[in-house]
């Protein structure tokens, strides 16, 4: 009898432990350790499009402005986002991009960010030995459980932020996505990697031709002609970026399913004294979008991530919790059953 009581007690304890484990899986393990940027993230996405205008830096250096301006050049971008290191809820993430025009590399960049693995926002509280690019807001992706709201996004080319505004909900490659839009007004390009692919300065004589062939109004052209002799020789150039971007985001996982960008870079000069930027000539005018193959791959990644979250956060807790409840119920039912034995004889009259 004592043994049966002990076994029943053990059964109840095990059942309660299983139920507690179900709650831990659903409300601790899943939100804190599953729904965050994986430590093995290594994703490459491909994009294709067209340079409506592209200025050849080598031809500019030669002073051959007419030959420097290319039209309708096919382009491609390869972007790889990889988790390099983790420390608790923080991750060191690399963002590498290679841009080609007609098969020739025209720009390569590699930025490293320290991000919060749940919000995906840039963070300053990271290990001291991490070499990171200072940033604000979202850098490589959206947070898990993205909301229908405006986020702050980071623009590495200009080292500034821009609003990422929720616009609508759409289905992409079979998955439901939130669509966000970003609009960056003409902003000075300050990143050294981007500037390295652009002519830093040109001779005054060459720039005079650019002023004549550029997009200046007659009044601005006269102002530039008066300004040019004061700029030195060669003349230092500055650049701005203007961009309109659309992103399709799988809300639960924060995965970017599709991206569409339209960007324009403009070369100009800085007026002495006022520091005002005087635009002269577009050096690139490009539109590109994620390839269909990359869109499908991103949708597959979103579905796989969803399945993993469902398994640990919903299915396993339900199974474990039900098993625990059934075990406790079985123990209680057995306890209530009356043992069979020899009937007690009636008392003597």
Reported as a single tens digit per residue, the pLDDT across 173-187 is 999 999 999 999 999
Distance (Å, whole) CA 193 – CA 206: 24
Task: Specify the pLDDT at position 339.
Answer: 56
Residue 254, exposed/middle/buried by CB under 10 A (0-12, 13-18, 19+)? buried
110-161 pLDDT, tens digit each: 999 999 999 999 998 899 999 999 999 999 999 999 999 999 999 999 999 9
Q: Which two tokens stand for residue 110?
A: 């590699």
- Residues in the chain, pLDDT under 50: 349
pLDDT attached to residue 53: 92
pLDDT confidence of residue 135: 97
For 17-32, b where at least 16 C-beta lie within 10 A, e where not — what string? ebbebbeebbeebbee
Number of H helices and E strands in the chain, helices first, is 8, 12
pLDDT value for 2: 62
Give me Rg for the CA atoms of the chain.
31
Q: Are 287 and 50 contacting, i.e. CB atoms less than 8 angstroms apart?
A: yes
Amino acid 1: pLDDT:
55
Q: Identify the pLDDT of residue 215.
A: 67
Residue 191's pLDDT is 97
Q: How far is the C-alpha of 156 from the C-alpha of 270, rounded, in Å?
A: 21
What local confidence, expressed as pLDDT, does residue 208 receive? 83
pLDDT on residue 317: 75
pLDDT value for 222: 83
**CA–CA distances in Å: residue 321 to residues 7, 203, 312:** 20, 76, 13
Q: How far is CA 307 from CA 95, 138, 175, in A?
A: 26, 25, 13
Phi first, then psi, for residue 246 (nearest 5°) are -130, 135
Reduced to 3 states (helix: H, G, I; strand: E, B; else coil), residue 135 is coil
- Stated as kind and residue range, the H or E segment containing 86 is strand 69-87
Give the H/E segment covering residue 62.
Answer: helix 57-62
pLDDT the model gives residue 301: 95
């Amino acid at each position: 009898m004592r043994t049966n009581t002990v076994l029943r007690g053990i059964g109840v304890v095990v059942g309660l432990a299983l139920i507690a484990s179900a709650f831990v899986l659903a409300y601790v393990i899943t939100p804190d350790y599953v729904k965050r940027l994986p430590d093995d993230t290594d994703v490459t996405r491909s994009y294709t499009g067209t340079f409506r205008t592209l200025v050849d830096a080598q031809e500019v250096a030669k002073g051959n402005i007419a030959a420097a301006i290319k039209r309708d050049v096919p382009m491609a971008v390869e972007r790889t986002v990889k988790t390099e290191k983790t420390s608790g809820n923080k991750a060191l993430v690399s963002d590498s991009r290679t841009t080609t025009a007609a098969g020739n590399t025209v720009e390569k960049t590699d930025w490293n960010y320290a991000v919060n693995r749940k919000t995906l926002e840039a963070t300053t509280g990271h290990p001291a030995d991490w070499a990171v690019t200072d940033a604000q807001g979202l850098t490589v992706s959206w947070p898990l459980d993205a909301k229908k709201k405006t986020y702050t996004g980071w623009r590495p080319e200009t080292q500034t932020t821009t609003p990422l505004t929720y616009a609508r909900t759409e289905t992409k490659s079979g998955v439901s996505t939130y669509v966000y839009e970003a609009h960056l007004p003409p902003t000075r390009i300050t990143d050294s990697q981007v500037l390295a692919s652009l002519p830093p300065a040109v001779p005054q004589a060459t720039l005079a031709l650019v002023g004549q062939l550029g997009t200046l109004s007659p009044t601005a052209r006269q102002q530039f002609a008066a300004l040019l002799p004061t700029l030195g020789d060669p003349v230092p150039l500055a650049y701005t970026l203007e961009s309109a971007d659309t992103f399709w985001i799988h809300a639960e996982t924060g995965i970017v399913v599709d991206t569409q960008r339209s960007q324009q870079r403009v070369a100009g000069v800085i007026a002495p004294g006022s520091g005002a930027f005087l635009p002269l000539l577009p050096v690139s005018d490009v539109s590109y979008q994620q390839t269909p193959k990359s869109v499908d791959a991103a949708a597959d990644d979103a579905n796989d991530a969803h399945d993993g979250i469902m398994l640990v956060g919903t299915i396993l807790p339900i199974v474990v919790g039900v098993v625990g409840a059934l075990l406790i119920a079985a123990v209680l039912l057995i306890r209530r059953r009356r043992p069979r034995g020899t009937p007690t004889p009636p008392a003597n009259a």
